[in-house]
Amino acid sequence: MPSNSPLQSTMFSETFNKEVFDLAQSSGYDYLDNVRDRNVFPSEEALYNLEQFEEELQGSPSTALEVIEKLSLYGAPATVAQVGGRYFGFVNGNSVPAGMAAKQLATFWDQNSGMQVISPLCSKLEVVIQKWLRELFGLPERTVAGFVSGTSAANFCGLAAARYRLLKRQGWDINEQGLFNAPKLRVVAGKHAHSTILKGIGLMGFGKENVEWVDVDDQGRIMADQVPELDDRTILILQAGNVNSGSFDPLEELCARAREANSWVHIDGAFGLWAGAVEKLQYLTKGMEMANSWAVDGHKTLNTPYDCGIALCEDEDALVSALHMTGSYIIIGDERDGMFYTPEMSRRSRIIELWATLRYLGKNGIDEMIFGFHERAKQFANEVSQIEGFQVLNDIVFNQVMVACDTDTLTDRVVARIQDLRDCWVGGASWNGRKIIRVSVCSWATTAEDISISVHSFARALKDCKNHD
């Protein structure tokens, strides 16, 4: 038997003595123990200390302990406390304990979910979760799922399937004949479509200038009476959860119209589609089962670890054909090969923590957690609106709150001051030509007290900005 190289000997030693893994785990425990009490955004000192990573790549290997120690010392303080209860800046979810632990376990397994023969476990879990998702969202039995990095990729998958199917109906095979001289397709979308939709439109070769943009109402919902006549060459893009207001397009009415016209409907439901799994919020997504494809994240509303996106499609042939994969070395499994449902072949095993999260919560836990986001958002809107100088601009239908001050200048200054205070973290945006403070409630750890502390930070920031004047 050949002897090990010096590097192999070192790595075998560090693997088997477990010290480096114990250090990583204890550092992780320390982080979780203190994350709710620390500043939400990194301190100035922590940001300055990131310069410790500005070094030349050395010639000789380091010890694994040295690597983890450096990450713990300088990396942990420079993280954003997203897994605490007062991060509202983007629709970034937390991680439920079972999902976080499953991700840690899966790291040791280091599975590739591309094919069943590469990971029978991942193949089986994808089959199981596909069924669970159909049941949770009330989708047709024929619906299949692709497990991707996020809604950017999931929207791409849905639009790719739509393009394949609509062109195929016109006698055009996009895979063989390409886009040149292909029959023209129509894309209809609301003017508040998310930027990931614009990215998908560009990647598909449709071109933003060719989109038939439809006006929206004061909550950002596409105006159904302004949607043009649909036909069998049309992709209608709808939204379940406006990224600022949280509003939902009139899905039932427009999906029914599209079905009569044989159009393809894609629903971008990055965070909002989960309302369909909540008994008291299902009215928001009524009719979504009539669509053809859907995009949704786990790492937002469901609180799986990053990253976790899901593409759903009721036309399996269209999705698989659009994302086709061939090769003489590929071994087709007897149940499911995940690579056929995603743009990637090799993928990390995010399915493991998605399974763990769903299994941990169950239907009732999902319902309780997500409805809790809605309740906390209503609390935020109610408390902040009682402070003179703040105005809530949207109807609180889900988990989003839009707040504005008397002037755009003051709103921008208050956002910056809230960020400086670091008691919570929020971002700014624009809404109908007005600057806003955008609040996204999507962490299982957010309590009623967290909301009150955050609203107090709003009040202090406003007072500080006015006093400075």
Q: Is 235 buried (19+), middle (13-18) or exposed (0-12) by CB count in 10 A?
A: buried
Domain ranges, ordered by start, for the chain: 6-81, 104-359, 370-468
Closest C-alpha among 220, 306, 303 to residue 268: 220
Q: Give residue 32's pLDDT band: very low, low, confident or very high (50, 70, 90).
A: very high
**Residue 6 pLDDT exceeds 90:** no
- If one compares 155 and 5, the residue with the highest pLDDT of the two is 155
Report the amino acid identity of residue 278: V
* pLDDT score at 11: 85
Residue pair 455/387 in contact by the 8 Å Cβ criterion: yes
Give start and end residues of each alpha helix (H) in 350-447. Answer: 350-385, 408-421
Rounded to whole angstroms, how far apart are CA atoms 94 and 108? 22
| Phi and psi angles of residue 164, each rounded to the nearest 5 degrees, phi first | -60, -50
Closest C-alpha among 461, 436, 460, 441 to residue 451: 441
**Cis peptide bond upstream of 307, omega within 30:** yes
**Selecting from 3.40.50.720, 3.40.50.2000, 3.90.1720.10, 3.90.1150.10, what CATH number does the domain 370-468 have?**
3.90.1150.10
Give start and end residues of each alpha helix (H) in 97-183. Answer: 97-109, 120-137, 151-169, 174-177
Report the amino acid identity of residue 343: P
Residue pair 416/274 in contact by the 8 Å Cβ criterion: no
| Phi and psi angles of residue 332, each rounded to the nearest 5 degrees, phi first | -75, 130
Contacts of 308 (CB under 8 A, 6+ apart): 147, 149, 150, 297, 298, 299, 302, 350, 353, 354
Retrieve residue 342's tokens.
């995603």
Which sign does the torsion angle of CA 203, 208, 213, 218 carry?
Answer: positive
Residues 159-179: tens digit of each pLDDT: 999 999 999 999 999 999 999
Q: Give residue 2's pLDDT band: very low, low, confident or very high (50, 70, 90).
A: low
Same CATH topology for 104-359 and 370-468: the answer is no
**Residue 364 pLDDT exceeds 80:** yes
DSSP secondary structure code for residue 309 in this structure? E
Q: Give mean pLDDT, residues 352-363.
A: 97
Q: What is the pTM of this model?
A: 0.95
Residues 292-325: tens digit of each pLDDT: 999 999 999 999 999 999 999 999 999 999 998 7
Q: Give mean pLDDT, residues 98-127.
A: 95
Share of the chain above pLDDT 90, in %: 92
| Phi and psi angles of residue 148, each rounded to the nearest 5 degrees, phi first | -125, -170
Closest C-alpha among 425, 372, 426 to residue 399: 372
Give the chain's mean pLDDT.
Answer: 95
Report the amino acid identity of residue 228: P
* pLDDT score at 87: 96
Residues 376-431: tens digit of each pLDDT: 999 999 999 999 999 999 999 999 999 999 999 999 999 999 999 999 999 999 99
Contacts of 136 (CB under 8 A, 6+ apart): 276, 277, 363, 366
**Residue 273 pLDDT exceeds 50:** yes
Residues 184-242: tens digit of each pLDDT: 999 999 999 999 999 999 999 999 999 999 999 999 999 999 999 999 999 999 999 99
User: Which residues is 401 bridged to in the sheet?
Assistant: 439
User: Which residues is 282 bridged to in the sheet?
Assistant: none
For the domain 104-359, what is the CATH code? 3.40.640.10
Q: Give mean pLDDT, residues 3-31.
A: 88
* pLDDT score at 1: 40
Residues 324-354: tens digit of each pLDDT: 878 878 888 899 999 999 999 999 999 999 9
C-alpha separations of 212 from 141, 235, 243 in Å: 32, 10, 21
Long-range contacts for 107-112 (Cβ within 8 Å, ≥24 apart)? 109/349, 109/352, 110/349, 111/348, 111/349, 111/352, 112/346, 112/347, 112/348, 112/349
Residues 254-270: tens digit of each pLDDT: 999 999 999 999 999 99
Residue pair 363/370 in contact by the 8 Å Cβ criterion: no
Buried b (16+ CB within 10 A) or exposed e, 425-457: bbebeebeeebbbbbbbbbbbbeeebbeebbbb
Rounded to whole angstroms, how far apart are CA atoms 70 and 77? 11
Rounded to whole angstroms, how far apart are CA atoms 414 and 359? 41
Closest C-alpha among 246, 282, 259 to residue 395: 246
